[in-house]
Amino acid sequence: MKNIINTFLLMFFCGMALLSNAQIYISTDTIGNKTQSNNLYVKPISFDSLASGFVIIIKKEVKLHKHLYHSEHVVVLEGEGKMWLGEKEFTIKKNDVIFIPKNTPHKVITTSKKPLKVISIQSPYFDGKDRVMLEQ
């Protein structure tokens, strides 16, 4: 019930901000710090019909997948990892920005003791329906 209320409040305040043309300020410093998740923690931070924003904490990995209809920008806030983007493999770390075009296979594995904490901005609005998993 608490999650339903929190989701409703987030949607209400984001909607009010959109109606009033207000900007939203969110500090990411403490988001997910107390998560008990074994791997992924996802916190929606903002959205409208054109884009969605999330803070994602990755303790282990995000398996190989692609998005059919939207592109994604990822900003690394904390931690380090190895990322695969299409045919490329590279290391990511704090302050890196990664652009993932639609329909591009991608995955990441956390390599640091500290989990990866990223901001993911996806456009258009992301509802999860266009995610295609490419490995189990």
Whole-number pLDDT of residue 33: 75
Domains assigned to the chain: 30-133 (2.60.120.10)
Least trusted range by pLDDT, from 26-30, 37-41, 132-136:
26-30
Q: Is the peptide bond before 124 cis (omega within 30 degrees of 0)?
A: yes
Q: Following CA atoms 3, 61, 57, 120 in sequence, which dihedral angle do they give, to the nearest 10 degrees?
A: -90
Mean pLDDT value across the chain: 85
Q: Which pair of tokens denotes residue 121?
A: 């901005």
Write the pLDDT tens digit of every residue in 98-122: 999 999 999 999 999 999 999 999 9
Whole-number pLDDT of residue 101: 98
Q: Which residues touch 128 (CB under 8 Å, ≥6 apart)?
A: none
For residues 12 and 120, the model is more confident at: 120
Whole-number pLDDT of residue 23: 67
**The pTM is what?**
0.79
Whole-number pLDDT of residue 97: 97
* pLDDT, mean of residues 51-62: 96
Query: SS3 sequence, the chain?
Result: CHHHHHHHHHHHHHHHHHHHCCCCCCCCCCCCCCCCCCCEEEEEEEECCCCEEEEEEECCEEEEEEECCCEEEEEEEECEEEEEECCEEEEEECCCEEEECCCCCEEEEECCCCCEEEEEEEECCCCCCCEEECCC
At 124, the amino acid letter reads: P
Whole-number pLDDT of residue 81: 98
Whole-number pLDDT of residue 76: 98
Whole-number pLDDT of residue 72: 97
